[in-house]
Structure 1
């Protein structure tokens, strides 16, 4: 049985203007958390 020679996966360069998923999630959740904290009944 012959296996193909191992080649590591090519390193992908991050594209220029794309927003990372983590940044996108933080941009959505942080204002929501602040709004909930501000609108809580005291």
Structure 2
């Protein structure tokens, strides 16, 4: 499977966006700002 450079960059940016969200959720859960289970 071969992907164009623009598709690879798009996927990379989306992965970074998801990772930033996961990191923020982790941090907010750790400080008690988000109740429940993560």
- The interval holding the TM-score normalised by the smaller chain is 0.3 to 0.5
TM superposition score normalised by structure 2:
0.48
Which gives a bigger RCO, structure 1 or 2 (Cα 8 Å, sep 6+)? 2
Larger Rg: 1
TM-score (normalizing by structure 1): 0.45
Greater fraction of residues in helix:
2
